[in-house]
Amino acid sequence: MILERIKSEGIAHLSYFLGSGNSAAVIDPRRDIDIYLELARRHGMQIKFIFETHRNEDYVVGSLELAGPTGATIYHGPVQDFKYGKVLLDGQEFELGKLRLIALRTPGHSDDSMSYAVVDKATGQAPALVFTGDALFVNETGRVDFGGLSNIPRMASDLFESLFNRLLLLGDGVIICPGHGAGSICGSRIAEREESTIGLEKLNNPALKHTDKASFIRYKSAEQHEKPPYFSLMEKYNLEGAPLLKGLPLPPALNPSEFKTALEKGALVIDTNLPAAFGGSHVRGAYNIWLGGLPTFTGWFLPYDKPILLILENDLHLETATRYLIRIGYDNLAGYLKNGVEAWYNAGYPLEKLNLLSVHELKAKIDRSENFTLLDVREPEAWRAGHIAGSKNIYVGHIQQKLAEIPADRPVVVLCSVGRRAGVACSLLLRAGYTQVYNVLGSMTAWRQAEYPVVNQK
């Protein structure tokens, strides 16, 4: 038995390659499928099955892309009206070399959610592993808000049944293989550790402490989640099938004048430099989203109908940036600026700056009672748990919609947890015409380390 866990950073999506003999299955493949083909080749296996745990919302699933070169059959859960693949019956079984996979309906996160238990016939007849999709994570359970507010109680109830009356009954020793790891927007408490079992989750998972259904529903209903606007395109793509890529569409290297031309024709710029570098020099109008933030934050802000240009912290990041963007459906990448922003200013083109503050400078500003807006762009939950007195909280994803709440005629000092999302927010404010914008390097992390005062709000 070969089990390989493939993590897609940024969205912290976990997919799996499971093989035995010369047959393999992939669970929830991503859109850049080269890794699965490479694993199949390395292990001398044919990918015969593609199993989806549900119609994913946060990335484009690669099932159709992978079915092309492999001829594998795609399987989904029922309920959703998929335009491709086959619909599973609860309990349907598949033989894969010496393994048996058993499809289990586990709705709750979504109505079509499936889990897949795996029996290793070489050692016994009880399941050894289970792919849990977005039903059960390490230290977290799936969101139940995608059906809308009114459906939350019903979906939480379904999830309760899927967890307590299906997954947890598989046995404490069963290893779980969830659909996301730490860092996913699909669960803010997912543990860093990626190895877990039913037994460990029963012991540690906060949600599973609520063994009474009503209590569980209350617990899940109290959760707060963000849903970025790009999710709706993902849902459509994953129902109908996204355009096929047939290879990674790496954008071309542009020299400054080619880049400038593309910019002037209406392309949007993403600059992946970290805040300090972006502060020192950037191209006017650029969105500042660091590399690891691309798959999470691009979809909050950038439309899908315009070409995208990249300025990279390091040109070697091109492949990673491309993968991150196509995974969330941004296929129209018009080019990247060869040699980065240095090429731009070496060409004599104008450079823009953004003000940077240390937490000590911020403290001094506050102590001097300077007049400015202190904008904290973290999730409301984090803000409530501890923030600087007087700070205003707007989640970074909502900045563009709430500009009216941010006075343009006085300085705006932005912070988040370390300054990266604050950097995103600052670039949005600059694009919106704000002129006195400051990013606080280290933000709340540094502020706390420096032992400056923090207030919280229950």
Q: Quick one: 2 or 403, whose CB is closer to its own copies?
A: 2
Binding residue for its own copies (CB under 8 A) from 95, 319, 370, 405?
A: 319
H or E, element range at 326: helix 318-327
What is the full DSSP assignment across 220-287?
A: HHT------TTHHHHHHHHHH-PPP-SS--PPPEE-HHHHHHHHHTT-EEEE---HHHHHH-B-TT-E
Q: Is 124 one of the binding residues for its own copies (CB under 8 A)?
A: yes
Q: How far is the CB of 303 from its own copies (least distance, A)?
A: 25
Q: How far is the CB of 159 from its own copies (least distance, A)?
A: 20
The sign one gets for the Cα dihedral 325, 327, 332, 333 is: positive
Q: Is 449 one of the binding residues for its own copies (CB under 8 A)?
A: yes
Q: Quick one: 201 or 223, whose CB is closer to its own copies?
A: 201
Q: Is 246 one of the binding residues for its own copies (CB under 8 A)?
A: yes
For its own copies, which stretch binds (CB under 8 A), given 211-219, 315-323, 396-404, 428-436? 315-323
What does the alpha-carbon distance between residue 334 and residue 249 come to, in Å, rounded to a whole number? 10
Gap between the terminal Cα atoms of the chain: 49
Q: Is 188 one of the binding residues for its own copies (CB under 8 A)?
A: no
30 three-state secondary structure = coil
How many residues of this chain interact with its own copies, rule: CB under 8 A? 88
Q: Quick one: 154 or 448, whose CB is closer to its own copies?
A: 448
Exposure string of 30-52, with b = 16+ CB inside 10 Å and e = fewer, is bbbbebbeebbeeeebebbbbbb
Q: Quick one: 56 or 139, whose CB is closer to its own copies?
A: 139
What is the full DSSP assignment across 42-93?
A: HHT-EEEEEE-SS--SSS---HHHHHHHH-PEEEE-SSS--SSSEEPPTT-E
Binding residue for its own copies (CB under 8 A) from 11, 26, 27, 129?
A: 129
Contact string 393-412 vs its own copies (x = CB under 8 A): --------------------
14 three-state secondary structure = strand
What does the alpha-carbon distance between residue 262 and residue 334 come to, in Å, rounded to a whole number? 8
Q: How far is the CB of 236 from its own copies (least distance, A)?
A: 26
Which residues within the stretch 42-81 sit at the binding site for its own copies (CB under 8 A)? 44-46, 69
Binding residue for its own copies (CB under 8 A) from 128, 135, 377, 422?
A: 128
For its own copies, which stretch binds (CB under 8 A), given 36-44, 146-154, 262-270, 395-403? 36-44
Residue entry with tokens 């296929």 = 331
Q: Is 197 one of the binding residues for its own copies (CB under 8 A)?
A: yes
